[in-house]
């Protein structure tokens, strides 16, 4: 893997639980923070452009690599043959947080420019936060920032482009009172394993050799899971904690409270036969919702488990920022360049 420039790690003490003094529950605090973050999304482009102008003056040949900004050339909208496409799908699933009955779920899918059934593609599952759904990452229109980043990373040759899927991370019937139940987030591993991934493998050209009852683990090196806030928790608790046999790459962006602490993750995977190809983490230093939980979940993993080696298959990145899309889009941009290498 090519050498990547990382933000320096600032020495701080690690708190293993909580988010600071508050009368709210972790879920309520996270929900409020994410609602505020969604309102900030639209100002991201202007701020990122201004922040990067000085750097570009001194580095005219800047290329995509792990860093602390998304360079403007990677958010330019591409059209025609240079642009990927977005599909909205429905797929059969089950009410895992309820009575187990059959339900229909929705998701959005990014297909790379020139997508062809004659080629096999890697797949990244990209999860939303506690207050969002399958649309929170904006993968719904041609102006999607995730789409622009993917189109440009592929156009400039930084990645071998892959499929991105943004599902609704609640493993339950949606639209009723149960739809907002916190426990449904923690049961999403069942939907991933039984419903969503088999649907993707059976309907798109992935590396999996789909058949009824097929072994999902055979193609794990061609799957990644990542997410913001609650989706970061799902990446850690479910992706690594429950589904390490079907995913090889993991990205946690501002992982939410209730993420498994590092010692628990190290214990869970201690005797697992499956290697961790990469685990990337990012969090803002001023994130009073997730910094403590995210750092407690990941920062010390290389010291606790030989499965994580800093600079080889593990990155902890922290930088100035809060609980918002400035961090999350940067996390996606960086992780997209790490996955599947």
pLDDT at 7: 33
* Residue extents of the structural domains in the chain: 26-54+65-338
Q: Average pLDDT over the chain, rounded to whole? A: 84
pTM for the model stands at 0.83
With a cut of 70, say whether residue 33 has pLDDT above it: no
Report, as an integer, the average pLDDT of 213-221: 97
Strands 85-94, 123-127: pairing is: unpaired
Query: Strands, DSSP E only, in the chain?
Result: 85-94, 102-111, 123-127, 163-167, 223-228, 249-253, 278-284, 314-319
Calpha distance 104→106 (Å, rounded): 7
- Residue 172: C-alpha distances to residues 68, 95, 180, 216, 240 (Å): 36, 4, 9, 22, 21
Fold held by 26-54+65-338 = Rossmann fold (3.40.50)
Mean pLDDT calculated for residue range 220-230: 98
pLDDT of amino acid 190: 98
168/227 Cα distance (integer angstroms): 12
pLDDT at 220 over 70: yes
Please report, rounded to a whole number, the percentage of residues in the chain having pLDDT higher than 90: 77
28, pLDDT greater than 60: no
* Rg of the chain over all Cα atoms, to the nearest angstrom: 19
In the predicted model, is pLDDT for residue 73 greater than 60?
Answer: yes
pLDDT recorded at residue 180:
53
- Counting residues of the chain whose pLDDT is more than 70, the rounded percentage is 79
Q: Are 125 and 223 in contact (CB under 8 A)?
A: yes
Residue-level pLDDT at 65: 56
261 near 14, Cβ under 8 Å?
A: no
> What would the mean pLDDT of 280-284 be, rounded to a whole number?
98
pLDDT in tens, 247-264: 999 999 999 999 999 999
Q: What count of residues does the chain have?
A: 341
Instruction: Tell me which residue of 75, 86, 148, 144 sits closest to 111, measured CA to CA.
Output: 86
Q: What's the mean pLDDT in 97-101?
A: 94
Chain centroid to CA 314:
15
pLDDT tens sequence across 130-183: 999 999 999 999 999 999 999 999 999 999 999 999 999 999 998 754 445 789
pLDDT at 54: 38
């Amino acid at each position: 893997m090519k050498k990547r420039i990382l933000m320096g790690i600032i020495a701080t003490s690690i708190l293993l639980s909580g988010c600071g003094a508050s009368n709210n529950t972790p879920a309520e605090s996270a929900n409020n923070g994410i609602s505020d973050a969604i309102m900030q999304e639209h100002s991201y482009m202007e701020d990122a452009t201004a922040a990067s102008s000085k750097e570009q003056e001194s580095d005219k040949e800047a290329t995509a690599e792990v860093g602390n900004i998304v360079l403007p050339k990677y958010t330019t909208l591409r059209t025609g043959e240079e642009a990927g496409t977005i599909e909205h799908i429905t797929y059969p699933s089950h009410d895992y947080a309820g009575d187990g009955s059959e339900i229909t779920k929705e998701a959005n899918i990014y297909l790379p420019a020139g997508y062809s059934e004659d080629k096999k593609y890697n797949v990244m599952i990209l999860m939303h936060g506690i207050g969002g759904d399958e649309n929170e990452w904006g993968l719904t229109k041609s102006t999607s920032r995730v789409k622009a980043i993917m189109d440009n990373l592929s156009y400039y040759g930084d990645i071998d482009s892959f499929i991105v899927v943004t599902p609704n991370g609640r493993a339950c019937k949606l639209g009723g009172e149960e739809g907002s139940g916190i426990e449904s987030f923690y049961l999403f591993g069942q939907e991933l394993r039984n419903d969503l991934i088999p649907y993707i493998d059976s309907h798109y050209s992935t590396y999996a050799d789909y058949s009824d009852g097929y072994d999902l683990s055979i193609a794990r090196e061609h799957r990644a899971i990542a997410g913001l806030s609650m989706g970061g928790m799902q990446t850690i608790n479910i992706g690594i904690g429950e589904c390490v046999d079907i995913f090889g790459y993991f990205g946690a962006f501002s992982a939410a409270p209730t993420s498994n602490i590092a010692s628990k993750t190290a214990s869970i995977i201690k005797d697992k036969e499956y290697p961790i190809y990469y685990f990337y983490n990012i969090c803002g230093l001023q994130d009073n919702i997730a910094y403590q939980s995210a750092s407690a979940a990941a920062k010390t993993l290389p010291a606790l488990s030989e499965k994580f080696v800093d600079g080889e298959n593990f990155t902890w990145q922290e930088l100035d920022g809060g609980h918002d899309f400035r961090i999350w889009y940067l996390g996606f941009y960086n992780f997209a360049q790490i996955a599947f290498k």
